[in-house]
Chains A and B, each alone.
Chain A
C-alpha cells in the first residue's frame, strides 16, 4: 500500500451515486468507462439506502445522483426522499431525457434540492448530433420547468471542437433559460473523450477565443447567473488538483457498487476497488488499499517528490499519468516540470492537424454496441 497515512484521513464530503450506466444519450465524451457494458449489475434500493446512511454518518453532505441517466432508475424518488431525511443536499445530474413536469414536482416534494441539466449545443442540429438522440427541444422545455418549480438550475454544456464556436450563443441560451449557474465544462479527456480526442480537442486559438468571450459575459451577468469555467488542463502548465487530493473529499459509487476515489479510477491497474456489497463505507474509506493508494505524498516520484507545489496539486491526475505515461505514479504530464510533457504537446498537435486538414474523423458514440468492443 503506497502513501498510507492513517493519521490524516479526512471524511468524505461529496458522494457521487452513479445509479445506472443506462443512458438514452450517446455523447462521445462520456466519462463512463469505455467497457461499461461489462458491468450491467445495479445495486438494489436497499443497498443504496445503506450506502447513503453510512456515508452521511461519516460527514458526506453533497450528494450527486448521476449515471448514465439516473432517471432510468424507478426508485429515484424513493432514494431522493431518503437522502432528504438524512440531511443531504441532493443534486440530480441529468440529460433531462424522460423528465416530465409531473416527475419534476414529485422529486421536489421528495426533497430534491437541485437539478443540473446538460445541453450539448445551442442549436438543435448540433445538439441532436452530439447527443446521438433528438433531445434539443425537450431539454429546453425541461430547463424552463425546472425554474418554474423553484429549483436552482445549473445548465451544463460540455465544450469541445464541434461546439466551441457557439460560445456566444450558448451563453445567451443559458441566460434566456434563466439558468442560475452555467457550467462550461471543457472536455476532460478520459474514457470516451480520450478515444475521440483528435476530433474533440479544440486548438489553442479556439480555447483562448472562447475563454475571452466567456470571461466577458461573466461580468455582464454578475449577480444574476454564475459561470463556472472548467479549464482545459492540456493548455495549462500546471496540473489540476484532481479530486482535491485522492481519498480526501470525493467518493464515487459505480452502478454495480464498486467504490471509486474518482469516476475514472476503474481504469487504473491493480487497485482492487472494493464493493459496497462486501464492505461498509467506513471500511472502504479508511482501510481499503484503493482509497489509501495515493493518500499523502509518500507515493510520489520526482519531479513531484521534491516539488514545492506538491501540496497544491497533489501531482495532478493519476488517471492522466497512467493514460499518457503508462505509469500511474508519475507526474501528471500536463505539468511543465514533467519530463513527459511532450506527450501532451503531441496530442495537441495531432488534434490540431486534423482540425486544420478539413478531414472528418467519425466520432465513436457511447453506446452498448461500441462499449462491447472494449
Chain B
C-alpha cells in the first residue's frame, strides 16, 4: 500500500489528531491507543485534510519552512501513515 500521487489525502475519520498541552506535542488517538508525533510528522498530517494531493503537501511545507527537497521524506512518512491507517485516499 503506497500513496497514489493523483488522489486527495484525508486524515482517517477513525483516528483523531490532537495537540496535547501536557506533553507539548501532537498525538494520534485511536481506540485504546496513542501515537506521539514529532513536529515534522505533525506538520505533514495537519495538511492531510482531504483538499490536497501529495505534490501540494510538499509545496506547502517547503514554502512554510523555506526549504526544498522534502519530497522523499514526506512520501516515505505518508506511506507509513497510510499503512498504519492514519490517513486514507478516496
Contact = CB atoms under 8 A, between A and B. Distances in A.
Interface in B33-66: 33-34
B31 A59 contact: no
Nearest to A115: B31
Interface in A221-260: 223
B13 A150 contact: yes
Interface residues of A, number: 20
Interface in B1-53: 1, 13-14, 16, 18, 20, 22-23, 27, 29-34
A110 to B, nearest CB: 15
A84 to B, nearest CB: 11
A285 B18 CA distance: 24
Interface residues of B, number: 17
B84 to A, nearest CB: 10
Contacts of A180: 14, 31
Contacts of B32: 62, 64, 91, 114, 116, 154
Nearest to A228: B32
A58 B22 contact: yes
A81 interface: no
Contact of B31 (A61, A87, A114, A150): A114
Nearest to A87: B18
B34 A61 contact: yes
Contact of A89 (B1, B13, B16): B16
A58 B22 CA distance: 7
B22 A223 contact: no
Nearest to B16: A89
Interface-centre pick from A58, A64, A152 (highest chain B CB count, 10 A): A152
Contacts of B85: 223
A170 to B, nearest CB: 19
A113 B29 contact: yes
A11 interface: yes
Contacts of A59: 20, 22-23
B14 A152 contact: yes
Contacts of A114: 30-32
A354 B9 CA distance: 56
Contacts of A13: 34
Given A89-B16, A150-B13, A152-B14, A181 B22 contact: no
Closest 4 CB pairs of A and B: A59-B22, A89-B29, A152-B14, A114-B31
13 contacts: A59-B23, A61-B34, A62-B32, A62-B34, A89-B34, A113-B16, A113-B29, A113-B31, A114-B32, A152-B31, A154-B32, A180-B31, A223-B85
Given A61-B22, A62-B34, A223-B83, 6 more contacts: A61-B27, A89-B16, A89-B34, A113-B29, A113-B31, A152-B31
